[in-house]
């Protein structure tokens, strides 16, 4: 049996971790039945970066490179001292010292010459793996001679493309198999990863992350039974765990899928690693050094037949999109060849290509660091056509990233890209370019880097069934309704998670005094305290926070009655942030504003929901929308829409002053903060207007007739004055009541809409009327439509109160979540 085990930078970062590696390897080697174990190691975690930074600083004439060098020395010395018994430390310590001196000499040279070529880059970087492998082999051998050390440079032969050298596969395989033949039985060999040499023996490297590749090359050359990549995560995951909160391990994956995922940024495995082992059908395991008992991921010919259509999602940052455009390109062959030639002459790697079908433009994604070079090269290659204005100068966009879906099952499932684009669109992620490989294993999108985290999470929630959809709320208003809403959110959290796979977090909370933000979610048991400790309230800053946090599934919730708050919806909708409002001011403002908000919602795919504007939680607007959307036409609506007025007229029989009954309604929380909005009928006018608008009518407040029952004297001054004036007008109210009673009727404040006209006013209602049996703070709406001609469709129930209003807001939040 031959096994190749590779241990990454974190796995060998220090003595403690190296001891874990040793114990894993010992176990594996013991069970290898006299077979051979090849252990490929990375540099101690972070050392490659330190080496390259030191040399970079030196080349820039910055003396602080010496600090980096002493850190490098210290890290290795420490590892030696902790791993090796004092008596046998000295030879290894002097080996490390000698290597560190060499690194210093090289860096001093770079410092003096101010020259840092790719060739010296590789020379410097190679010390990382050289040192780690020397230390690790010594650690294996501290008690008895168990392990051999083999210089990779003697076996892996590459071309001279420094920093990214390509292997001479034939020679390398031959070298490795000769080396193997000379090994004693049951050998354990430690090999430095990442480093190789060209035919002249000059050090080269295989590219950052290249130790994985070294291991794969050994596995392929020896036709190993298994290749194991030991790292710091328990396998290849459905997305980068540093980005996606819900990422989970993929138990089995095909070579092709693993290759695509790594090519598009899944750093857990270096992309070129798969090809050599795939060609030989060698199974690859990704295992966790820090949780060796975890199963890990098996990469092999067939991925597992799980229900997931998408196997994984990955992303690459630092992308530039270069586009060649021009009318002169149409139908002329050879343009793309010349473009790609220009890029390849400059060694610029093409990550993704899209061409519009009209052939007016070709866009290519490349590493952003190559953008300038690309521009020079392509503009030079097309200088003639540019001069003749057949082609535009190369257009370069930066600060972009690629987000890609990978999965072999995607090809047999139509509509995946549609779902991908729609999920991104609903979250305001603008897609700059799209590419789908013809094998349909991969769908890639180019998006702004600032959107990557959001996009990866959105896609993960969309395509992985067991993943929780995380919803981020920004709530303004902590009065009656707000407080109830927060209570309900807390109470329902468990249910939403378990039954709907939705996790709702309140990220921002504000009232008129304070505001607070917490990206982990405000503690809903303790929101009063958190809010009190927050900063001073500032609405524009709140908006800024909502927008700039750029969180997926963001919903702004307005539970105030404030006009300033209603004035910020447009900014939010522009950024695809849904708005849920129980505040009526926006929907009842001038028609042009209402219409604008509706259009923004449509254009930018954010929801604008305000079901509680009419009848609190009663499904009034929802019902009306369902009717019109299903092709019905609403001709007439008759409604009692003021919980306050209903309460007042249900409770007033002359035995107690009218003003007292109104006060009771206010105390019990049924009225607007200023009860005159209810009593004057203005609030009812707003509601019937909103219904008329939702039914398709372009209505303004001035278009509504209001037959008010409130004497003029009640409308002046403060709320206190209002109560006094009402008391003084008791006789007026009593008369209204007595007249109705005498006619065998009760009083209802009715809103009517018919043929485009709306009116509100007090009416005598007879016992046989649909509006008669309304109790407490009930609301009722009768819809007469094409389909509901004689008997109306009736919605009836409690139409006011903090608890029900909050539940209506809650329902809108869920609606926005599901949209």
Catalytic residues, by residue number, are: 687
State whether the Cα torsion 212-215-217-223 is positive or negative. Answer: negative
State whether the Cα torsion 202-208-209-210 is positive or negative. Answer: negative
C-alpha angle with apex 584: 581 to 585, nearest 5 degrees? 110
Indicate the DSSP class of residue 167. B
The only residue of 4, 7, 9, 640 in contact with ligand ASP, by rule CB under 6 A: 9
Rounded Cα gap, residues 327 and 490, in angstroms: 59
Query: Which partner, ligand ASP, Mg ion, ligand ADP, none, binds residue 510 by CB below 5 to 8 Å per kind?
Result: none
The only residue of 69, 268, 374, 522 in contact with ligand ADP, by rule CB under 6 A: 268
Rounded Cα gap, residues 237 and 224, in angstroms: 25
In order, the DSSP letters of 194-235 are SEEEETT--EEE--TTTHHHHHHHHHHHTT-SEEEEEESSSS
Q: How many residues bind Mg ion (CB under 5 A)?
A: 2
In order, the DSSP letters of 83-114 are HS-GGGTHHHHHHHHHHHHHHHHHHHHHHHHT
Closer of 5 and 690 to ligand ADP (Cβ)? 5
Interaction between residue 310 and ligand ADP (CB under 6 A) = no
Tokens of 561: 């009655």
Residue 163 Cβ, how far from Mg ion at the closest point, in Å? 16
Query: Which partner, Mg ion, ligand ASP, ligand ADP, none, binds residue 204 by CB below 5 to 8 Å per kind?
Result: none
CA atoms within 13 A on the CB side of 626: 9
Residues 746 and 765 sit within 8 Å (Cβ to Cβ)? yes
Interaction between residue 291 and ligand ADP (CB under 6 A) = no
Indicate the DSSP class of residue 409. G
Instruction: Give the residue among 555, 538, 561 at the shortest CA–CA distance from 479.
Output: 561
C-alpha angle with apex 163: 157 to 165, nearest 5 degrees? 30
89-128 residues in contact with ligand ASP (CB under 6 A) are 128
* Residue 500 main-chain phi, psi, to 5 deg: -115, 0
Interaction between residue 192 and Mg ion (CB under 5 A) = no
Query: Alpha helix (H) ranges present in 382-515?
Result: 383-387, 416-425, 452-463, 480-500
Closer of 319 and 597 to ligand ADP (Cβ)? 319
Interaction between residue 549 and ligand ASP (CB under 6 A) = no
Interaction between residue 457 and ligand ASP (CB under 6 A) = no
Residue 45 Cβ, how far from ligand ASP at the closest point, in Å? 8
User: Among all chains, which residue has been given the structure tokens 């909160």?
Assistant: 245
Interaction between residue 231 and ligand ADP (CB under 6 A) = yes
Rounded Cα gap, residues 616 and 633, in angstroms: 24
Q: How many residues bind ligand ASP (CB under 6 A)?
A: 13
Measured between alpha carbons, how far apart are the two ends of the chain, in Å? 55
Rounded Cα gap, residues 597 and 140, in angstroms: 69
Interaction between residue 233 and ligand ADP (CB under 6 A) = yes
Residues 665 and 718 sit within 8 Å (Cβ to Cβ)? no
Residue 483 Cβ, how far from ligand ASP at the closest point, in Å? 53
Residue 575 Cβ, how far from ligand ASP at the closest point, in Å? 38
Interaction between residue 209 and Mg ion (CB under 5 A) = yes
Residues 503 and 496 sit within 8 Å (Cβ to Cβ)? yes
Rounded Cα gap, residues 645 and 776, in angstroms: 10
677-736 residues in contact with ligand ASP (CB under 6 A) are none
Residues 811 and 465 sit within 8 Å (Cβ to Cβ)? no
Kindly write out the interface string for residues 9-48 of this chain, putting x where it contacts ligand ADP by CB under 6 A and - elsewhere.
xxx------------------------------x------
Residue 215 Cβ, how far from ligand ADP at the closest point, in Å? 10
The only residue of 42, 198, 363, 682 in contact with ligand ASP, by rule CB under 6 A: 42
Interaction between residue 43 and ligand ASP (CB under 6 A) = yes
Interaction between residue 193 and ligand ASP (CB under 6 A) = yes
Interaction between residue 8 and ligand ADP (CB under 6 A) = yes
Rounded Cα gap, residues 6 and 324, in angstroms: 43
The only residue of 186, 267, 635, 663 in contact with ligand ADP, by rule CB under 6 A: 267
* Residue 90 main-chain phi, psi, to 5 deg: -60, -40
Closer of 236 and 559 to ligand ADP (Cβ)? 236
State whether the Cα torsion 398-311-300-280 is positive or negative. Answer: negative
Tokens of 193: 């990863």
The CA–CA distances, whole Å, from 700 to 404, 593, 750, 753 equal: 48, 11, 18, 13
Interaction between residue 265 and Mg ion (CB under 5 A) = no
Instruction: Choose one: 20-28, 231-239, 494-502, 802-810; the region binding ligand ADP (CB under 6 A).
Output: 231-239
Instruction: Choose one: 41-49, 354-362, 748-756, 798-806; the region binding ligand ASP (CB under 6 A).
Output: 41-49
Closer of 8 and 477 to Mg ion (Cβ)? 8
Residue 693 Cβ, how far from ligand ADP at the closest point, in Å? 48
Instruction: Choose one: 40-48, 399-407, 443-451, 564-572; the region binding ligand ASP (CB under 6 A).
Output: 40-48
Query: Which partner, Mg ion, ligand ASP, ligand ADP, none, binds residue 194 by CB below 5 to 8 Å per kind?
Result: ligand ASP
Instruction: Choose one: 4-12, 100-108, 325-333, 745-753; the region binding ligand ADP (CB under 6 A).
Output: 4-12
Residue 292 Cβ, how far from ligand ADP at the closest point, in Å? 14
Residue 253 Cβ, how far from ligand ADP at the closest point, in Å? 10
Q: Which helix (H) or strand (E) holds 335?
A: helix 335-345
Closer of 158 and 231 to ligand ADP (Cβ)? 231
206-225 residues in contact with ligand ASP (CB under 6 A) are 208-212
Tokens of 442: 């991969």
Query: Which partner, Mg ion, ligand ASP, ligand ADP, none, binds residue 192 by CB below 5 to 8 Å per kind?
Result: none
Tokens of 654: 């002359």
Instruction: Choose one: 232-240, 395-403, 405-413, 728-736; the region binding ligand ADP (CB under 6 A).
Output: 232-240
7-46 residues in contact with Mg ion (CB under 5 A) are 8
Give the interface with Mg ion as residue ranges (CB under 5 A): 8, 209
Give the interface with ligand ADP as residue ranges (CB under 6 A): 8-11, 42, 209, 231-233, 236-237, 239-242, 266-268, 312, 314
Give the interface with ligand ASP as residue ranges (CB under 6 A): 8-9, 42-43, 48, 128, 193-194, 208-212
């Amino acid at each position: 049996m031959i096994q190749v085990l590779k241990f990454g930078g974190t796995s060998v970062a220090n003595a403690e971790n190296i001891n874990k590696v040793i114990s894993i390897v010992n176990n594996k080697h013991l069970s290898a039945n006299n077979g051979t174990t090849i252990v490929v190691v990375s540099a101690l975690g972070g050392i490659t970066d330190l080496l390259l930074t030191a040399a970079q600083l030196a080349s820039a004439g910055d003396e602080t490179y010496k600090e980096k060098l002493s850190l490098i020395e210290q890290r290795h010395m420490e590892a030696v001292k902790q791993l090796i018994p004092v008596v046998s430390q000295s030879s290894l310590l002097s080996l490390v010292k000698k290597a560190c001196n060499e690194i210093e000499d090289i860096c001093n040279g770079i410092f003096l010459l101010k020259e840092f070529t790719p060739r010296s880059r590789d020379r410097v970087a190679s010390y990382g793996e050289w040192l780690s492998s020397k230390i690790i082999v010594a650690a294996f051998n501290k008690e008895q001679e168990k392990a051999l050390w083999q210089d990779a440079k003697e076996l892996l032969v590459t071309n001279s493309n420094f920093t990214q050298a390509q292997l001479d596969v034939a020679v390398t395989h031959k070298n490795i198999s000769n080396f193997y033949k000379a090994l004693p039985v049951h050998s354990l060999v430690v090999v430095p990863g990442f480093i190789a040499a060209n035919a002249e023996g000059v050090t080269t490297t295989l590219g950052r992350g290249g130790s994985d590749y070294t291991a794969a090359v050994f596995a392929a050359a020896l036709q190993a039974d298994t290749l194991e990549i030991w790292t710091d995560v328990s396998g290849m995951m459905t997305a980068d765990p540093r980005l996606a909160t819900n990422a989970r391990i993929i138990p089995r994956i095909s070579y092709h899928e693993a290759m695509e995922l790594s090519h598009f940024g899944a750093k857990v495995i270096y992309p070129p690693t798969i090809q050599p082992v795939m060609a030989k059908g060698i199974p690859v395991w990704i295992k966790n050094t820090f949780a060796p008992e975890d199963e890990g991921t098996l990469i092999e010919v067939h991925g597992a037949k799980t229900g997931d259509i998408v196997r994984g999602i990955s992303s690459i940052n630092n992308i530039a999109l270069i586009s060649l455009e021009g009318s002169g390109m149409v139908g002329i062959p050879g343009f793309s060849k010349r473009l790609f030639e220009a890029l390849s002459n400059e060694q610029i790697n093409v990550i993704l290509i899209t061409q519009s079908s009209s052939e007016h433009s070709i866009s290519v994604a490349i590493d952003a660091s190559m953008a300038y070079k690309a521009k020079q090269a392509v503009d030079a290659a097309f200088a003639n056509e540019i001069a003749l204005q057949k082609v535009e100068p190369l257009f370069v966009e930066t600060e972009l990233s690629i987000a890609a879906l990978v999965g072999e099952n995607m090809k047999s499932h139509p509509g995946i890209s549609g779902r991908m684009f729609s999920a991104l669109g609903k979250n305001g992620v603008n897609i700059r370019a799209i590419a789908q490989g013809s094998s349909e294993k991969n769908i890639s999108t180019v998006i702004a880097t600032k959107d990557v985290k959001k996009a990866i999470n959105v896609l993960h929630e969309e395509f992985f069934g067991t993943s929780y959809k995380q919803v981020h709320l920004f709530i303004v208003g902590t009065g009656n309704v707000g407080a109830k809403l927060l209570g309900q959110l807390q109470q329902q959290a468990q249910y939403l998670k378990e039954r709907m796979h939705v996790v709702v977090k309140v990220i921002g909370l504000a009232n008129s005094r304070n505001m607070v933000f917490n990206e982990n979610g405000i503690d809903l048991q303790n929101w009063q305290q958190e809010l009190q400790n927050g900063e001073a309230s500032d609405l524009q800053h709140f908006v800024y926070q909502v927008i700039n946090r750029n969180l997926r599934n963001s919903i702004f919730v307005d539970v105030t009655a404030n006009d300033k708050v209603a004035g910020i919806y447009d900014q939010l909708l522009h950024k695809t942030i849904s708005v849920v409002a129980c505040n009526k001011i926006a929907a009842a403002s001038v028609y042009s504003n209402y219409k604008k908000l509706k259009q923004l919602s449509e254009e930018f795919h954010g929801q604008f929901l305000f079901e509680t504007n009419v009848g609190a939680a009663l499904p009034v607007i929802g019902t009306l929308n369902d009717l019109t959307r299903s092709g019905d036409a609403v001709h007439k609506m008759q409604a009692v829409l003021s919980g306050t007025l209903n309460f007042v007229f249900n409770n007033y029989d002359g035995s107690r002053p009218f003003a007292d009954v109104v006060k009771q309604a206010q105390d019990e929380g049924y009225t607007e903060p200023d009860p005159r909005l209810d009593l004057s009928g203005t609030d009812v006018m707003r509601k019937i207007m909103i219904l008329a608008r939702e039914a398709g009518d372009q209505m303004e407040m001035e278009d509504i007739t209001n037959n008010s029952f409130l004497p003029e004297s009640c409308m002046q001054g403060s709320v206190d004055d209002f109560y006094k004036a009402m008391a003084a007008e008791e006789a007026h109210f009593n008369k209204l009541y007595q007249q109705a009673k005498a006619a065998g009727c009760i009083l209802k404040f009715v809103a009517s809409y018919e043929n485009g006209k709306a009116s509100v006013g007090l009416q005598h209602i007879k016992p046989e009327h649909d509006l008669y049996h309304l109790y407490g703070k009930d609301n009722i709406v009768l819809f007469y439509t094409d389909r509901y001609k004689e008997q109306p469709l009736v919605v009836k129930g409690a139409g006011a109160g903090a608890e029900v209003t909050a539940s209506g807001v809650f329902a809108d939040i869920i609606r926005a979540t599901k949209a």
